[in-house]
Homo-oligomer: A and B are copies of this chain.
Amino acid sequence: MANSKYEYVRNFERDEILLPNTWIVVRIDGRGFHKLSNYYGFTKPNDRRALRLMNRAATHVVGSIPEITIAYGVSDEYSFVLHRGTTLFERRKDKIVTTVVSSFTAAYVLGWNECFLEGKEGDLESTAEGPVKGAPALTMEMLPTFDGRAVCYPSWENLRDYLSWRQVDCHINNLYNTTFWALVQQGGMTHVAAEEHLKGTVSGDKNEILWSRFGINYNNEEEMYKKGSVVFREYALEEEASTRAADDVGEDTDEGTGISGPISKTQAEKIRKARRKAKVVTKHVDIIRDEFWVQRPWLRSGKPGRPVEEHTES
């Protein structure tokens, strides 16, 4: 074929394969969201509509990629966790990362109007601020975009620590931002003055400022703001699940090897389908302590749990 003369250029392509048997975290970050949030008039310190749009986009991504075990989001970032045993796209890094980034972006852009403009109150939960009818429509001049990266974590403890890192960060930033904007919006300070005021303060100081000057009890702030958002497939909770899931013991299972082992292709496809059907939920809960994980062993094992009988969302 005439093309053969040029086809040698394919030899310059490289596929990076993510190390098997490691947890893959794809983290996406909003690009220039500080500027974007000003442009579109996001509410400070937290814009409920914008956060819910993030959560919807994440729910779409989790729902459409069954290999994603759990996702955690805060502010304009989201982390998607793929199970250590996944062979999605043969674990090709670029393919995995760009698929997540593109899916998230598409869902975010398409969902924008619904979250910001149409004001389906019931859907958005009743809230003081509510959907702002006058929010500007998306324009090509200021498109929301996200960059992304993949990181591999070899042990369950590493993965847990990663997610704890993000949730602690959420807490630290939200406490700071809540106090900062109280000083600015209610205290009448300039941005610079508020920043100066908070320099060197610890958590206790900020809680005290909020309470004594503005009557705000930080503990009563919305869970979504304080805890971030956790998106995952929900099954029936288990009361006494062991924290030691199969993948680290390995004596009686092949999971510790990162290969599907005795699981046939038919079984794998069956699991994939079961995951597709499972309900994807969004919670604003602590994921640092063990409780969340003990009750949901399927997050670690990668195997579907028992279907939820009754609706028990928080």
Instruction: Identify the A interface with B (CB < 8 A).
Output: 1-3, 5-14, 16-17, 19-22, 28, 31, 60, 84, 94-95, 97-99, 101-103, 105-111, 138, 140, 143-158, 161-162, 164-165, 168-169, 172, 243-244, 247-251, 256-259
Interchain CB contact under 8 A, A158 and B110: no
Query: What B residues does A98 contact at CB under 8 A?
Result: 28, 97-98, 101, 146-149
Query: What B residues does A31 contact at CB under 8 A?
Result: 99, 102
A154→B146 CA distance, assembly (Å): 29
**A–B pairs, 9, beta carbons within 8 Å:** A1-B172, A9-B165, A19-B19, A21-B158, A94-B150, A102-B148, A106-B143, A109-B109, A157-B250
Please tell me which one of the listed residues B99, B108, B258 contacts residue A155 in the complex, with CB atoms under 8 A apart.
Answer: B258
In the complex, besides A13-B149, A102-B145, 4 extra interface pairs with C-beta distance below 8 angstroms are A97-B98, A99-B145, A110-B138, A248-B249
Interchain CB contact under 8 A, A155 and B97: no
> Taking the nearest CB of chain B, how far is it from the CB of A64, in angstroms?
8
> Taking the nearest CB of chain B, how far is it from the CB of A56, in angstroms?
9
Query: What B residues does A22 contact at CB under 8 A?
Result: 19, 22, 154
A42→B99 CA distance, assembly (Å): 23
Interchain CB contact under 8 A, A3 and B95: no
Interchain CB contact under 8 A, B101 and A101: yes
A209→B19 CA distance, assembly (Å): 43
Please tell me which one of the listed residues B2, B8, B244 contacts residue A168 in the complex, with CB atoms under 8 A apart.
Answer: B2
> Taking the nearest CB of chain B, how far is it from the CB of A174, in angstroms?
13
Interchain CB contact under 8 A, A145 and B20: no
Query: What B residues does A144 contact at CB under 8 A?
Result: 106
Please tell me which one of the listed residues B11, B103, B172 contacts residue A259 in the complex, with CB atoms under 8 A apart.
Answer: B11
Report if A169-B106 is in contact (Cβ < 8 Å); known contacts: A8-B161, A154-B21, A154-B258.
no
Interchain CB contact under 8 A, B14 and A17: yes
Query: What B residues does A172 contact at CB under 8 A?
Result: 1-3
A156→B257 CA distance, assembly (Å): 9
Please tell me which one of the listed residues B16, B28, B161, B168 contacts residue A16 in the complex, with CB atoms under 8 A apart.
Answer: B16
Interchain CB contact under 8 A, B12 and A151: yes
A106→B146 CA distance, assembly (Å): 10
Interchain CB contact under 8 A, A6 and B102: no
A8→B94 CA distance, assembly (Å): 23
Please tell me which one of the listed residues B106, B145, B153 contacts residue A145 in the complex, with CB atoms under 8 A apart.
Answer: B106
Interchain CB contact under 8 A, B97 and A259: no
Interchain CB contact under 8 A, B256 and A155: yes
Interchain CB contact under 8 A, B162 and A6: yes
Interchain CB contact under 8 A, A9 and B248: no
A103→B2 CA distance, assembly (Å): 34
A144→B103 CA distance, assembly (Å): 8
